Amino acid sequence: MNSSALAAELLRRNAGNPALAWRLLRHLLSSPAAPLPPLRLIISLSRLLVVARMLPELHHLRRLILLPRHPPAAVRTALSALVSVSASAGLLDDALAHFRSLRSQFPSHPPSTRLYNCLLNCSLRAHRADLVEVLYRDMLLAGVPPETYTFNILIFSLCDSDRIEEARLLFDNMPLKNCQPDEFSFGFLICRYCKAGLSHRAVELLDEMERLGRSPNIVIYNTLISSFCKEGSIGEAEKLVERMRKDGIFPNVVTFNSRISALCKAGKVLEAYQIFRDMQEDNVLGLPRPNQITFNLMLDGFCKGGMLEEARALVELMKVGGSLTSLQSYNIWLSGLVKCGRLLEAQQLLEQMVQQGIEPNSYSYNILIDGLCKEGMIYSARSVMNLMKNNGTSPDPVTYSSLLHWYCTRRNISGAIKILHEMTSSGCFPNSFSCNILLQSLWKEGRILEAEKLLQEMNKKGYGLGIVTCNIVINGLCENGKLDKAIEIVNSMWQHGSAALGELGNAFLGLVDDRNEKKKCCPGLITYSILINHLCKAGRLDEARKLLLEMMGRNVAPDSIIYDIFVHGFCKQGKVSSAFKVLRDMEKKACRPSTRTYNLLIWGLGKKHQIEEILDLINEMQEKGIPKNVRTYNNLIHALCDREMVDKAASLLEEMLHNSILPNITSFSMLIRAFCKISDFDAAQAMFHGALTACGQKEVLYSLMCNECFLYGKISEAKELLQIALEKEFSLEHFPYKSLIEELCKEDRIDDGHSLINTMIAKGYVFDPATFMPVIDALGKKGNKQEADKLSEKMMDMAAHHDGSMVSFSDRLHGDSENKHQKQKQEQEVSLGSDWHNLLHRDDGSGIAMKLLKRVQKGWGQGSIPAPRPQNFDLVDEWEITN
């Protein structure tokens, strides 16, 4: 048996033991008389070593191949095999080492195109765009002709590096190298154009593809349709669907899902549902059936669009069809219920999920906890959090951040700090986001020393003082009257990054490692927006303009929001002509004004009663294609009402509806006030009923109409509105119930006043005890001592429980509201209000109320009415995150 046959036999017998096989073959190959084994044996041995990750042995094999006794042709072939096997296995560095040996040993015999392609592909998979370029240049220098496959690798590599224009140039030069683009060449570029938001350029490539006789596949079409859908160009997407059909490619479920997703995101949920329904019902056209993704997209569309009943029907359909089986579907439905305020249903859904074997994850619990916190139901949120723990899911930073945000929005800093301590004690450490919530709250409260201490702790624990934290500090300084200090810190940030916060006195300088230019926390657009906004608020417009020039000099381009700040600042000072100069400057700098920009200008003109100029500006908006919104019309309505052009203002409602803009409560409120002001109460009443139809039975509308009627002497109408409010169990906080009852008593309508008080008591309202006084006085004057005593007793009982808030019976049924009010009573004693004390001590000649109170107090032993106590305000003496 010759040596080659022996080597092959040894390799076959010891394939399961690579180390032994290598030792035997190395001994055989090291023999001076042994020729180089055949190529197939080299490849087999190489693969065996690669699989066993015996890479040093692989390099030893290369050295054996390079022994001088072997024929050059055989060596060249064997080295090429080593390169190919290593590259195919993803061993880029090893493949390059073998390739360098090949190129140095045989400079006049370049490798094949196939070998270059193998190395290029390996470099691409390793995301080594630099190597792709080096190998391609080497290929051209060696005179090796590239193939279409070569160009496809290069195009993909350039696209992957976001060098799309270079990729396009290479694509255009392919024919010069005698290579024709194939569907992969087109597909790579089309995909990258779509990702870059350049869908129209991608369509140009599609046109060129068809001109060259290349047939686009369904993947290319779906990529384009999805891209246009994401950009909101639904019409263009629909054209492509028709083009697909003409090309004989029938849209699949991916195509339809893209369209449904885009329509839902654009708010066209019913149009999306039409497509969804066709997919379910149209068997004639053979449309694809909805899959799990389709159902989830449609459910998400209904939920985000506030179409709860439609979403509920879809959930039932999914249950029947067996599609409501994924956690993602349940989370979408859970989020929809929370968004629409159906928190009890959401809690029940969590329980159902567990019963049906769908284990909620932290995201599921966080949806509900966040919704409960936003509704002020902190105790229910805590209960869900306990359920979360009991079911084996640990609260994460998102969970605690929702609770933290609740305490911060209610200015309960001590409660927020307790949450941080609770986080750390449970092993869930606060992140930058959590700390930033508290930091912002501390600055809002003006608790600067504590904010600075929190900054130190964040820095100490390595949370990273990024641009968000810096912006919170800068805004906090501005809000607390330290605008110049904020400007000083921003200027220092260009050199020191977030270490510039050391200028607060925290000794951050030198502690924060911000020397890396790429990571340095430099001022950005939001940073400058904060400073410019506060400078304009302070009337320092010249300094704000200088700051604008400075930021532009530092290549921070202003956006329309910054220009709007200047427009608002000038309009606020009555310098409308200067505001218009800002508008024209925006246009010169190619910064498109927004609807908000024009709304601010309309507001400024309205302050000067320049109606004609407002109308001209609205016409300019229409000419430039800038959409009007409800605020545009509200500003115009306000200006017209100020000039008592109320009929003209009212006619705008019809124009708004014609333009698909729904009037809001503000629109109707201004018109109601304006009609009442000119004593056209029939028109005001009609406008009020129109508002109820358009906006719903809102408490604010009833309180507005009640106040206006009372203000202009329409006492009976005001009383009727208050009675309706009581029937609907609205909060009476903004109703003139005290003044109205007093006025009824003055008009000798004691029964009406008495009836209102009894209704309020029967409905469970807790209200200002001073409301009783006019009725008690009136009853006393009429000699109705028994009724007066009853009311006095009720008044004293209410005085003992009154905490200064207006709470309805429906609120008291709400567990969290009740707990909230109990907690408020525990934490602080609230003054009963000056009205109460003034009425008790007034001297109107009768003294009846005072006499009654003294008699009642003496008989009941109630003691004196509590005096107001100073409110406690917890200070954070110390806070530290413990590991």
Q: Which of 70-84, 399-413, 558-572 is predicted least confidently?
A: 70-84
Work out the pLDDT band at 14, boundaries 50, 70, 90.
low
Residues contacting residue 49 through CB under 8 Å, at least 6 positions apart = 18, 22, 55, 57, 58, 61
CATH code at position 43: 1.25.40
Residues contacting residue 4 through CB under 8 Å, at least 6 positions apart = 35, 37, 38, 41
For residue 824, tell me if it sits in a domain.
yes
Give the amino acid at 546.
K
pLDDT at 582 over 80: yes
For 610, phi and psi rounded to 5 degrees? -95, 75
Q: How far is CA 392 from CA 361, 373, 389, 631, in A?
A: 10, 22, 5, 49
For residue 516, tell me if it sits in a domain.
no
Dist. CA 126–CA 532, nearest whole Å: 46
CATH code at position 397: 1.25.40.10
What is the sign of the dihedral through the CA atoms of 429, 433, 439 and 445?
Answer: negative
Long-range CB contacts for residues 71-77, cutoff 8 Å, separation at least 24: 71/36, 72/106, 74/36, 74/39, 75/36, 75/105, 76/102, 76/105, 76/106, 76/109, 77/39
For residue 39, tell me if it sits in a domain.
yes
For 439-504, what is the HEC assignment? HHHHHHCCCHHHHHHHHHHHHHCCCCCCHHHHHHHHHHHHHCCCHHHHHHHHHHHHHHHHHHHHHH
**pLDDT at res. 439:** 83
- Alpha helices of 231-307 — where are they, by DSSP H? 234-246, 253-265, 269-281, 292-304
Tokens 């020191």 label which residue?
Answer: 496
Exposure class string for 305-327: b at 16+ Cβ within 10 A, else e: bebbebbbebbeebeeeebbeee
**pLDDT at res. 77:** 82
311 in Cβ contact with 303 (< 8 Å): yes
For residue 493, tell me if it sits in a domain.
no
**Residue where a domain terminates, one of 109, 126, 143:** 109
Residue 658, number of CB atoms within 10 A of its CB: 8
Q: Which of 250-254, 339-343, 816-820 is predicted least confidently?
A: 816-820
pLDDT at 881 over 60: no
pLDDT at 641 over 90: yes
Residues contacting residue 627 through CB under 8 Å, at least 6 positions apart = 595, 621
For 249, phi and psi rounded to 5 degrees? -110, 120
Query: Under DSSP, is residue 512 helix (H, G, I), strand (E, B) or coil?
Result: coil
**pLDDT at res. 752:** 93
More confident residue, 374 or 865: 374
Residue 281, number of CB atoms within 10 A of its CB: 9
Work out the pLDDT band at 102, boundaries 50, 70, 90.
confident
Query: What tokens were used for 319?
Result: 């249950």
CA 504 to chain centre: 31
Dist. CA 72–CA 95, nearest whole Å: 20
For 864, phi and psi rounded to 5 degrees? -80, 155
Work out the pLDDT band at 712, boundaries 50, 70, 90.
very high
pLDDT by residue (tens digit) across 426-476? 887 777 787 888 888 888 888 878 777 887 777 776 666 788 888 888 898
pLDDT at 631 over 60: yes
Q: What is the largest CA-CA distance in the chain?
A: 137
Give the amino acid at 111.
P
Measured N-to-C along each axis, helices 525-537 and 467-479 cross at an angle, to the nearest 10 degrees, of 10
Please count the structural domains in the chain: 3
Q: Which helix (H) or strand (E) holds 74?
A: helix 72-88
Measured N-to-C along each axis, helices 183-195 and 199-211 cross at an angle, to the nearest 10 degrees, of 170
633 in Cβ contact with 667 (< 8 Å): yes
Exposure class string for 263-272: b at 16+ Cβ within 10 A, else e: bbbeebbeeb
Please state, for a pLDDT cut of 90, what percent of the chain lies above it: 22
Residues contacting residue 829 through CB under 8 Å, at least 6 positions apart = 866, 868, 869
583 in Cβ contact with 593 (< 8 Å): yes
Dist. CA 315–CA 295, nearest whole Å: 9
- Alpha helices of 322-374 — where are they, by DSSP H? 327-339, 343-355, 362-374
Query: What tokens were used for 1?
Result: 């048996």
**pLDDT at res. 852:** 42
Dist. CA 687–CA 691, nearest whole Å: 6
For 14, phi and psi rounded to 5 degrees? -110, 25
For 426, phi and psi rounded to 5 degrees? -90, 5
For residue 531, tell me if it sits in a domain.
no
Q: Which helix (H) or strand (E) holds 138?
A: helix 129-141
For residue 208, tell me if it sits in a domain.
no
For residue 480, tell me if it sits in a domain.
no
pLDDT at 681 over 90: yes
Dist. CA 313–CA 280, nearest whole Å: 15
Work out the pLDDT band at 39, boundaries 50, 70, 90.
low
Q: What is the mean pLDDT of residues 748-770?
A: 90
For 394-456, what is the HEC assignment? CCCHHHHHHHHHHHHHCCCHHHHHHHHHHHHHCCCCCCHHHHHHHHHHHHHCCCHHHHHHHHH
Residues contacting residue 36 through CB under 8 Å, at least 6 positions apart = 29, 42, 65, 70, 71, 74, 75, 78
Q: How far is CA 195 from CA 216, 226, 491, in A?
A: 18, 10, 37
Q: Which of 153-167, 333-347, 789-803 is predicted least confidently?
A: 789-803
**Residue where a domain terminates, one of 428, 458, 491:** 428
**pLDDT at res. 652:** 92
For residue 880, tell me if it sits in a domain.
yes
User: Measured at the alpha carbon of residue 293, what is the angle toward residues 258 and 399, in degrees to the nearest 5?
Assistant: 110
**pLDDT at res. 464:** 65
Provide the 8-state DSSP code for 519: T
Measured N-to-C along each axis, helices 253-265 and 292-304 cross at an angle, to the nearest 10 degrees, of 10
pLDDT at 867 over 60: no
Query: What tokens were used for 28?
Result: 């055989």
> Radius of gyration of the chain from Cα atoms?
38
User: For residue 748, what are the domain limits?
Assistant: 697-883
Dist. CA 259–CA 271, nearest whole Å: 10
766, β-bridge pairs: 807
pTM, full prediction: 0.59
Query: What tokens were used for 551?
Result: 């930021």
pLDDT by residue (tens digit) across 527-538? 999 999 999 999
Query: Under DSSP, is residue 832 helix (H, G, I), strand (E, B) or coil?
Result: coil
Q: What is the mean pLDDT of residues 832-849?
A: 42
Residues contacting residue 474 through CB under 8 Å, at least 6 positions apart = 486, 489, 490, 527, 530, 531
**Residue where a domain terminates, one of 56, 82, 109:** 109
Dist. CA 422–CA 417, nearest whole Å: 9
